Amino acid sequence: MTSDSETISPWAPGGWRHRTFQAVKYFVYLALGFNIYLFLQQETATAAHSGSSEWTVTSVIAMFSATIDTIAWVVLLLLFELETAVLPDEKLVGGTKLSIHTVRLLCGLLIIFAAFGYYAEWIALLDGSPIVGSACELVGQDWSLMLKFDDFAELSATNCDGTAMVNLTNLDQVVASEFTHDAAKMLASVDLINAAAWILIVIMLEIEVRLQLKGGVPARVLPVMNTAKIVLYGTLLWAAVYWGFRGDFLDFWDAALWLFAFVFIELNVFEWQNEIGAKSHEEITD
């Protein structure tokens, strides 16, 4: 029989709560990896109705911004997991440290490119001119109908008649109802705000990780960083809720998973801070 002092805490490595925490965390990471496939499917279908006759780097980034964004974020997430929870501090030096930071920089550039894609998509949806007459006159001329944001169908005799239609002038031969156009513009703006908030969070985490490797975040800086994080994560939560009510399930599901994932990263950082604090206390007492 073991005494109470010898009993392993359920939160200690090897404890059942710790094992459950790890299992949930890696399930969320795996689900985010699967979302790459789901976004690729969705954006491939959207691209087929985009009406684009020429493919350029800019148009590919705009069309597949969510897929590119998710790939970069999954890699970035795994790198943060390595640095904050898997690799010990003494291993985060030399070539290992340089490799992690180099790949993270490349992921950061991809995320910025994807944010540019969200911006381009938002700009493309801003302008629309009312269609004079009936949209049914355009049937058979390779026009597409926007059903909702990122969801298109071929304009046909069965879907051309309805509420007032607008021609999305920044897209090639695409029409939409006024309601759908307004909803799409709002969703595009939420995408852009969400992307900007995530970029700021990554910048803050990058700063925090580098400070951790140098001995910890200064006490005077920590309250400012925590306040900024509350604002940014609050913005992301608002975006997720908005998508839940106004967008589609995939956007809501993806946003919720990312919030969960970065809660785990924040917990990793918090535990890392405690470890550094404990080591500093031991060094002082010794």
Q: Which of 27-41, 155-169, 194-208 has the lowest mean pLDDT?
A: 155-169
Confidence of residue 200 (pLDDT cuts 50, 70, 90): very high
What pTM does this model have? 0.73
How confident is the model over 241-258, as a mean pLDDT?
85
Residue type, 214: K
pLDDT value, residue 6: 45
Quote the percentage of the chain above a pLDDT of 90.
16
